[in-house]
Amino acid sequence: MRIRRSTRSRGVMAAAAISTGMVLAVAGCGGGDDEGDSDKSSKSSASTPQGSGKDKEPEKPAEEQVLAEAKGDGVTLVINAAARDEGGFLTVSGKVTNTSGGLWTGGQWRGDEKELQKNGGSVAGASLVDGQGKKRYLVLRDTSGRCLCTKFEGGLDSGQTVDWFAQFPAPPEGTDKVTFQVGSMPPAPIEIAQGE
């Protein structure tokens, strides 16, 4: 009897561990921001009456607004958004364009820490500096040391532009100005969008 109970207990524990792992994997991969953003933009477009505001210039979508731009390392880096997420995260995103005339791999942006070497060409070495609070925030990583950021798989060809993002711990509420730094790019001061 003890053997049956022991075997049954192990089976139940294994099933619970697998279920927990799947829930965590789905939660980590979820988000659906792309669909949510397109739904929001289509809803906001549909709710705007046509024919009104002909004299007004249409507002640029948030992803087209430029918070900062920096040039160096053979690329032009544009920051379009810096927004607080639920759970105490800050996501910085934008576009990077290869202006080098050759293949750009992003290897100089991955950072110097041994753990970050696994990230290859990526934004893993980026940081945010809160000058007022005298703190530096590094890109978040998962338990395997992989950054929560864009990896430039295969590099960028000359003239190619791609989207990028990096997630950081959010500075305290009330801190709305930080400086983004990566590689040998010049520091880029940005303003954090406050939650709605």
pLDDT along the chain (196 residues), means of 10: 48 47 45 46 43 47 76 91 90 94 85 71 89 91 86 89 94 92 92 74
Full domain range(s) for residue 19: 2-42
* Run of H or E including 40: helix 33-47
Does 151 fall in a domain? yes
53 lies in some domain: no
* Buried/exposed 9-36: b ≥16 CB within 10 Å, e otherwise: eeeeeeeeeeeeeeeeeeeeeeeeeeee
Q: Using CA atoms, how far apart are residues 133 and 172, in angstroms rounded to an integer? A: 9
Q: Distance between alpha carbon 53 and the CA centroid of its chain, in Å?
A: 35
User: Which amino acid, one-letter code, is at 6?
Assistant: S
Q: Is residue 107 part of a domain?
A: yes
Q: Residue 88 domain-assigned?
A: yes
Residue 48 counted as domain residue: no
Please tell me the number of Cα atoms within 13 Å of 57 on its side-chain side.
3
Confirm whether 56 is domain-assigned: no
pLDDT value of position 186: 93
The answer on 124 and 165 residing in a single domain is yes
Residues 140 and 88 in one domain: yes
Tally of domains within the chain: 2
